């Protein structure tokens, strides 16, 4: 077990290092690198550019720059925003909570609905419901998230006037109910793709478990079919789904970016787009790195959870 944990931890560290190399490469990808934004300033001469480059340490060899950048990153110094001069990490923390709230609620919805659809599909295999769920999942995977959001706003905010069209809360009203109402539409819109993915995998996982001997034994013992379903089938079918949850993280995070834009949700995604609009290099890079770190940590957490819950992995 300890060996597995250490190995998995080591893998994540190596990946993190690779991720930082890629992030650094993207940073220096633009023709002229981070300097490109200054070249557009009127009256900028090559001498000025050279001076800025040496001030920012951009005239050093790339490997040296990378080591320096990484060292600062590890010490929690992610640079300062070009927009207001505040530390990048502070700005990201402020927006992280909103994104995690949206992702959390949306994932909970996806798990709940996806599990129901998947299990029902597996129990009534090849029924009309199963077929409709399969086709529905494929269509749901094909709908652009932002378009689904726009349609939802059009129907539920503009026509029916049931739900607010955006933002996290009404200004002047910070009650819990107000937050909840604002949360409904973005989290459901973000959940759609994950419901589709989750229900598909849940169906396969349930079918795998249903045909196994211990399920037949449980039935033969005379357990009620409800008890067999919840204790034996669901319990075992949900195990591999924890890993899936980790693997789906990049998709959820990417979807959150788009959803936040449509619903003006004050999270990391909106911050990312705002920063792009201002060419705020340090914040964009910080968010790019932060998103990858979140994914890696999430994957590691998922794998560790499975290892703790499932004795079979601990033994092998």
- The residue within the footprint of another protein, chosen from 1, 22, 62, 71 (CB under 8 A), is 22
* CB distance 21 to 65 below 8 Å: no
295 binds another protein (CB under 8 A): yes
**9 vs 154, beta carbon nearer another protein:** 154
Nearest C-alpha neighbor of 144 from the set 258, 57, 16 = 258
In terms of CB distance, is 236 or 291 closer to another protein? Answer: 291
Q: What does each C-alpha distance from 155 to 22, 187, 228, 256 come to in angstroms? A: 42, 16, 41, 21
Considering Cα of 223, then 226, then 230, then 232, what sign does the dihedral take? positive
Q: Applying CB under 8 A, which of residues 237, 258, 271, 302 lies at the interface with another protein? A: 258
Kindly tell me which residue out of 146, 156, 169, 179 binds another protein, with binding defined by CB under 8 A.
146
Determine, following the binding rule CB under 8 A, whether residue 279 of this chain makes contact with another protein.
yes
Taking contact as CB under 8 A, which single stretch among the options 97-105, 136-144, 212-220, 307-315 is the one that binds another protein? 136-144
Stretch that binds another protein, among 50-58, 217-225, 255-263, 301-309 (CB under 8 A): 255-263
Closest CA to 140 of 225, 212, 199: 199
Binding of another protein at residue 79 (CB under 8 A)? no
Asked if 14 is part of the footprint of another protein (rule: CB under 8 A), the reply reads: yes
Q: Which of residues 163-222 bind another protein (CB under 8 A)?
A: 200, 203-204
# of chain residues touching another protein (CB under 8 A): 51
Q: Does 228 bind another protein (CB under 8 A)?
A: no
Residue 29 in contact with another protein, rule: CB under 8 A = yes
Among 229, 291, 300, 303, binds another protein (CB under 8 A): 291
The answer to whether 26 contacts another protein (rule: CB under 8 A) is yes
- At 173, give phi and psi (nearest 5°): -130, 100
Q: Which is nearer to another protein, 105 or 294 (CB)?
A: 294
Determine if 10 is a binding residue for another protein (CB under 8 A).
no
**Which residues contact another protein (rule: CB under 8 A)?**
14-15, 18-19, 21-22, 26, 29-31, 36, 134-135, 138-139, 141-147, 150-151, 153-154, 158, 200, 203-204, 250-251, 253-254, 257-258, 261-262, 272-273, 276, 279, 284-285, 287-288, 291-292, 295-296, 299
């Amino acid at each position: 077990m300890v060996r597995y944990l250490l190995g998995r931890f080591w893998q994540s560290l190596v990946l993190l290092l690779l991720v930082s190399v890629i992030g650094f490469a993207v940073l220096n990808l633009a023709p002229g690198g981070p300097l490109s934004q200054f070249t557009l300033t009127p009256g900028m001469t090559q001498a000025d550019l050279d001076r800025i480059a040496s001030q920012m340490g951009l005239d050093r060899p790339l490997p040296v720059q990378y080591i320096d950048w990484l060292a600062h990153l590890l010490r929690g110094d992610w640079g300062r925003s070009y927009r207001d001069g505040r530390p990048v990490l502070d700005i990201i923390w402020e927006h992280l909570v909103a994104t995690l709230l949206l992702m959390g609620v949306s994932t909970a919805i996806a798990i709940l609905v996806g599990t129901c659809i998947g299990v029902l599909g597996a129990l009534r295999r090849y029924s009309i419901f199963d077929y409709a769920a399969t086709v529905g999942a494929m269509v749901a995977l094909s709908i652009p998230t932002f378009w689904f959001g726009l349609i939802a706003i059009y129907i539920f905010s503009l026509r029916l006037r049931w739900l607010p069209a955006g933002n996290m809360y009404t200004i002047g009203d910070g009650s819990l109910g107000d937050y909840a109402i604002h949360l409904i539409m973005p989290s459901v819109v973000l959940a759609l793709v994950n419901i589709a993915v989750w229900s598909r995998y849940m169906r396969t996982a349930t079918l795998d478990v249903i045909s196994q001997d211990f399920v037949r034994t449980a039935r033969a013992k005379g357990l009620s079919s409800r008890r067999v379903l919840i204790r034996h089938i669901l319990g075992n079918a949900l195990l591999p789904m924890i890993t899936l949850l980790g693997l789906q993280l990049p998709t959820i995070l990417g979807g959150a970016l788009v959803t936040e834009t449509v619903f003006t949700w004050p999270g990391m995604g909106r911050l990312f787009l705002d920063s792009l609009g201002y060419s705020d290099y340090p914040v964009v890079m910080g968010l790019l790195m932060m998103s990858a770190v979140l994914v890696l940590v999430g994957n590691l957490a998922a794998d560790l959870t499975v290892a703790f819950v499932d004795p079979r992995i601990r033994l092998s």
